[in-house]
Amino acid sequence: MSPPALFWFRQDLRLADNPGLDSLGDRPALLVHVLDDSAAREHALGGAQRWWLHCSLAALDAALRARGSALHLARGDATRIIPKLADEIGAEEVIAGRLYEPWARRRDEAVAHTLEKAGRKLVLHTHSLLHEPHRLRTGAGRPYSVYTPFSRAIFALGEPHPPIPAPKRLTPVAHPPRGESLDALGLLPPGPDWWRGFSASWTPGETGAAERMEAFGKCAIDRYEEDRNTPRIEGTSRLSPHLRFGEISPRQAWHAAREAGLKGEAGFLKELIWREFSYHTLWHRPELPEQPLRAEYARFPWMASRPALRAWQRGLTGYPIVDAGMRQLWRTGWMHNRVRMVAASFLVKHLLQPWQQGEAWFWDTLVDGDLASNAANWQWVAGSGADAAPYFRVFNPVLQGRKFDAGGAYVRRWVPELAKLPDRHIHSPWEAPAEVLSRAGVTLGRDYPRPIIGHAEGRARALAAHAALRAEEAAA
C-alpha cells in the first residue's frame, strides 16, 4: 500500500476541482483543517467569516463522510500542528492549495522547512485562482499595475483547464489521531446573535455554491450587465463568499458561465479577472492591506473621527442609499456591489475617514471578506491603489440612489422608517416638505438623522484635501 499523505484544507473547502485532493488517488490520507488565528494576527477571520466557516466545515465533513473519510479539525499554530500530524500518521507529503496572503506565505515557508528537516515535503497546488500571480508579467517583465492589460493577458492565455470531478471515494488512514469537535473551535461569534439571520440569505458549503452558480447561470447571467447595478433585485451572482472559502473554484465558475452561453458572460468573467488582479497585486505588493500603494497617500490629510465612523457603521449617515447598504451588511453579511462603492466613497471622501477603517469594518462584517479583494477595492475607492479611481470621482449618494434605486425599493427594505416617503423624496428626505414628512411619519433628527454632512460640502472638502496633497507633492 502507498504511504499515507496529509491533505490540508484551507481556502478550498470543496471536493470537486480540487487538484490536491485529486492527487491523493487511493492513498490513505488524513484530511485536516486547522483554525490558526495566531498566524494571521490582525487579519484573523472576522465575525461574519467565522460563522460561514463553521457552516462550511460542517458541510465539508458530511461530504467527506459520504465518501468514506472524515474531516480532522485542530486549533492552534499550524506550523507545529501540521508537521506533528504528518509525523503521527507517517505521511511523506503534506498536500495543500497555495495561499497568497503575506502571513500565509510565511507560514507555508515555516511548515515546509520543518517538514523538510524530517524528510517530508509540502506540495502546493493552484486551488483558488485561475493562474499563479508570479507567472503573469507585462512585456517588460514587470507585474501588472493596471487592470485592462491584465485582463487582456488573462484572456490571451485561453480557456482554463476543465474542472476535475470530485473523488467518488477517499481512503482514511488506519488509525487517525483524535481531533477537535467543530463546536470546540469556537467559530460562532460570541455576544449578540447578529449572525443568526445570515442563514436566511446563505447556504454555505459546496452544494450551496453549486446551487447558487446554477441559478445564476440559468437566469441572472443573461441580464448581468443590465441588472448588476440594481440593488433591489438579485442581478449579481452572489458567489463571492463561496469563492472566498473555495466552495467553488474560479475555474468552475468560469466554465459554468461559458456553458450558459448568455450575453452577460463576458461581464461576469471580467469580475473573476478583477478578483485575480487583486490577488496579483497582493502577491507583488504585500503591503496592500495596510499601506497605500501610491506612496504620496501616506501623507493624505485624513480627519479621523470616531462619531463619523460610528454613524457610517450603524447606517445613520442621513443618506438613505448609504444607510441601506450598511444595514444590509449588518443583517446579511453582504452588501450589493454598487452600494459598496457608494458607501465606501462616502466614508473616505465625504467623511475623510482613513480607508483602513472601512476595510477593517468590512473585514469583520462581510461573509465574503477576502484580504486581497477587500484591500484592493478600498484602495481603489480611496485613489491610493493599483488602477485606482481618480481623486475627483466623488459619488453623489442622492443621484446614485435615484439612478440605481429609482423606485426606492432597496431603501424601503433596509431603512423602513422612510418606507412611506414618496419616490421623489426617498433618497433625500431632508428636501421633503414638512407635510410630506408628517404624512410619512418621519421626524428628521428623531426617526431618521439629517445628513451628517452636505454633499457639496463633503465633495469640496475631499477635493481640497487632494489638492493639498498634490501641492505638497509638487513642492517636495
Active-site positions read 271, 274, 302, 337, 355, 378
Query: What single-letter amino acid sits at 449?
Result: P
Question: What are the contacts of 304-309 at 24+ separation with CB within 8 A?
Answer: 304/353, 304/354, 304/357, 305/351, 305/353, 308/351, 308/353, 308/452, 309/347, 309/351, 309/353, 309/357, 309/361
415 and 448 Cβ atoms separated by less than 8 Å: yes
Residue 59: other Cβ atoms inside 10 A: 19
Q: Are 268 and 221 in contact (CB under 8 A)?
A: yes
Count of CB atoms within 10 A of residue 452's CB?
A: 19
Look up cell 506612496; give the residue.
Answer: 295
Q: How far is CA 277 from CA 134, 147, 265, 334, 443, in A?
A: 12, 7, 18, 21, 46
Residues in the chain, overall count: 476
Whether 30 contacts 56, CB under 8 Å:
no
Q: For residue 193, give every residue at least 6 positions away whose Cβ sits within 8 Å of its Cβ, in sequence order, or none.
A: none
**Within 10 Å of residue 271's Cβ, how many Cβ atoms?**
18
Quote the cell numbers at residue 143: 507585474
Task: Please give the Cα distance from 340 to 329 (Å, whole number).
Answer: 9
What ranges make up the beta strands (E) of 104-168?
A: 121-125
Q: What residues contact residue 253 under an 8 Å CB cut-off, 6+ apart?
A: 213, 237, 239, 243, 272
Q: Please report, as a single letter, which amino acid is at residue 262.
A: L
